[in-house]
């Protein structure tokens, strides 16, 4: 029994992960790579997102220390996320599952930003981990 319990736990672990479904969506050809779009996304990020997602030196609010903390988008993981997922997450914020029931506080930016602006944010977020110059 002692040997089978760790094996059983190892086999059940993937079943605990939550998969999120979101609509397929493609940015315009070359949009995410265009420097002007990353620059525009950076400006949007600094104006609307930095209080929760930025670093302290960027202007993160001390009041943004809630759990789980909002990601800073500085790790390579964010560079490889599906752009459609980032678009959906920015657009819908906390209004969709599983984030609604998890207590997310992120606003839905879809009513306030155009599709172009959301893609600009996606372009910028995907450039943060690598330090691509603006």
Residue 127 sits at the vertex; the CA angle it makes with 122 and 117, to the nearest 5 degrees, is 25
Residue 56 sits at the vertex; the CA angle it makes with 50 and 57, to the nearest 5 degrees, is 95
* 96 within a domain of the structure (yes/no): yes
Residue 71 has what pLDDT? 81
pLDDT per position as a tens digit, 47-103: 998 888 887 777 778 777 766 677 888 888 888 899 999 999 999 999 999 988 988
Query: What CATH number did the domain enclosing 81 receive?
Result: 1.10.760.10
Provide the percentage of residues in the chain whose pLDDT is more than 90. Answer: 48
Residue 31 has what pLDDT? 98
pLDDT per position as a tens digit, 11-56: 333 333 348 899 999 999 999 999 999 999 999 999 998 888 887 7
Residue 116 sits at the vertex; the CA angle it makes with 92 and 93, to the nearest 5 degrees, is 10
* 100 within a domain of the structure (yes/no): yes
The candidate with the shortest Cα–Cα distance to 111, out of 91, 84, 83, is: 91
The boundaries of the domain holding residue 68 are 24-127
Into how many domains does the chain fold? 1
């Amino acid at each position: 029994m002692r040997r089978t319990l760790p094996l059983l736990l190892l086999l059940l672990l993937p079943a605990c992960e939550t998969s999120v479904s979101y609509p397929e969506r493609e940015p315009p050809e070359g949009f995410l790579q265009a420097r002007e779009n990353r620059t525009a996304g950076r400006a949007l990020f600094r104006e609307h997102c930095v209080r929760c997602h930025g670093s302290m030196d960027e202007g993160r609010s001390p009041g943004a220390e809630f759990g789980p903390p909002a990601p800073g988008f500085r790790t390579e993981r964010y560079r490889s996320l599906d752009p459609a997922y980032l678009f959906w997450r920015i657009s819908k914020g906390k209004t969709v599952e599983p984030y609604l029931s998890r207590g997310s506080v992120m606003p839905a930016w879809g009513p306030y930003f155009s599709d172009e602006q959301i893609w600009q944010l996606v372009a910028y977020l995907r450039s943060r981990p690598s330090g691509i110059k603006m």
